Structure 1
Amino acid sequence: MKIILPILFILTFTFQGFSQQVSKNFIDENYIEVTGKAEMEITPNQIYLKVIISEKDNKGKVSIDILEKQMIEKLEGINIDIDKQLTVNDMASNFKFYWTGKTDIFTAKEFQVLVSDAMTAGKVFQELESIGISNISISKLDHTEIEKYRQQVKVEAIKAAKVKAQALASAIDQEIGKALYIKERETPSYPNTTSNIIIRGSSSFKASGVQMPKVEFGKINLSYEVSACFKLN
């Protein structure tokens, strides 16, 4: 025991000294801390439309199978690739209410149609409303190269931070050196969704021979902030 204790003491002392050396960080340096910000607006090229066809809309006069067939024909007529751009999200019925005598049984089916521009989206609204399908909404806006644009915005944000640091340092006759740390922050502004927009029975869509109105969507906004510390020379 008399031999082990001094050894443990030496090891403990050495370890503590090493830890203190490792824990030394940029706070011991003269530094400047700044925040850079960058934003970018992108026109979406992936527009997700939610389409619900329901027997209830026509009081059961047309079955859901016929409505679906008519919908597919209309979509193919405006060059929608059914295999790639049309998916089934859900199918439900109110059968459970039938036994309580509250209502008749109606079936509803939910689809998702993916288009690449606002003009095509407008055509979908127009063509489907012509056959009585008006429960259409925009569920999501996206872009196929969103990750590339994200990286671009991050790079611009750190560049902005560096420019700001250089300007502030020069005001006190100093220069900035290497970056001591960089921390990024993304603001919760992406994605831009418009699920609350629902178009029902627009007379401009129903009227035959009337030019379809111009349809536009909001931009996807990417916004990043980067905090950075630079050494002051």
Structure 2
Amino acid sequence: MKKQILILALLLVVAVVQAQDSKNFIDQNYIEVTGVAYKEVVPDEIFLTVEINEKDNKGKESLERLERDMLAKLKSLGINTKEDVMLNDLTSNFKFYFLKKTDIFSSKEYTVKVNNAALAGKVISGLSEIGISNIGLNRVEYSKLEELKLEVKRMAILNAKGKANMLVEALDQQLGKALHIQEFDNPRVYRPQIMEMKVRDAESWNPSNAATPEFEFDKIRIDATIQVKFAID
């Protein structure tokens, strides 16, 4: 019985201490501010979709020959064809185009990864030279996205601190330590909704030109919002 009373007394003491801590926090003079920050970066992982099919060459070259030519061209541009060229699905070996009852042309689809817009332009121009022109943009990414998220969070906290300092100094008081930090969601990542490649001088460029086209890609944007309560000394 005495043991049960002792445990009950200890629990009561803990509850009182916690309540006192909560009261102390509420009773402190504090300021609550929301910090926001964002950053935009150029994507450094660009994924192109390349389709090769016999139909484009009217059956003059086999699919295997087109595939070899494509891989050779990509290697000549410095692309690691083992790591950065992927067959999209195994069933693409069995995709066929039926133009007539007697004409059957097979097709394959690949994803080619490049790290900048300049190389994307070289891939498009180089493959066009060997008769492969069915190329599109699959998606864009940023390789250091997690590091960038942390950086934007830090920027948001500094933004909150700057706001709080400005407001407190206007009252001839000093900003104290942070009492509470709340992060709203995770940093939001905004990728371009419309995935497209933009040629800088689109009107004057065509695949037959010798010059490599200069492509541009919309930037990826990362936003962060953080709420901070600071004590006022």
Partner of 1:206: 207
The reply on whether 1:38 has 2:34 as its aligned counterpart is no
The reply on whether 1:11 has 2:7 as its aligned counterpart is yes
Moved more, 163-172 or 17-26: 17-26
Q: 1:61 to 1:17 in 2, by over 3 A?
A: farther
How far, CA to CA, are the matches of 1:11 and 1:166 in structure 2?
A: 46
Is residue 213 of structure 2 the alignment partner of residue 217 of structure 1? Answer: no
Distance 1:21 1:57 in 2: 79
Q: Which residue of 2 aligns with 1:68?
A: 67
The corresponding residue for 1:161 is 160
Paired with 1:116 and 1:212, the residues of 2 have a C-alpha distance of 16
Pairing 1:182–2:145 present = no
TM-score, length-scaled by structure 2 = 0.77
Contact (CA 8 Å) 1:119, 1:215: kept in 2 or not? yes
- The answer for the alignment partner of 1:22 in structure 2 is 18
So what's the TM-score if we normalise by structure 1? Answer: 0.77
Show CA shifts across 1:77-102 (max 9, x none). Answer: 3222222322223132596999xxx9
Aligned-partner SS, 1:11? helix
SS of the residue corresponding to residue 92 of structure 1 reads helix
1:91-118 CA distances to partner (integer Å, 9 max, x unpaired)?
32596999xxx99765433322121211
Q: 1:104 to 1:14 in 2, by over 3 A?
A: farther
* Residue pairs, 1:115-126, within 5 angstroms: 115-126=114-125
| Cα offset, 1:119, TM superposition | 1.1
Q: Aligned equivalents of 2:228 and 2:121: distance in 1?
A: 45
Shift in alpha-carbon separation, 1:229–1:181, aligned structure 2, 3 A: same
| Matched length | 223
Which AA in structure 1 matches 2:34?
T
| Residue number in structure 1 paired with 2:53 | 54
| CA RMSD after TM alignment | 3.3
CA contact (8 A) 1:95 1:106 kept: no
Q: Distance in 2 between matches of 1:103 and 1:198?
A: 37
Whole-angstrom CA distance in 1 between matches of 2:145 and 2:26: 37
The answer on whether the counterparts of 2:197 and 2:217 sit within 8 Å (CA) in structure 1 is no
Deviation at 1:158, TM superposition (A): 0.8
Structure 2, unpaired ranges of 5+: none
Would the aligned equivalents of 2:128 and 2:207 in 1 still touch at CA under 8 Å? yes
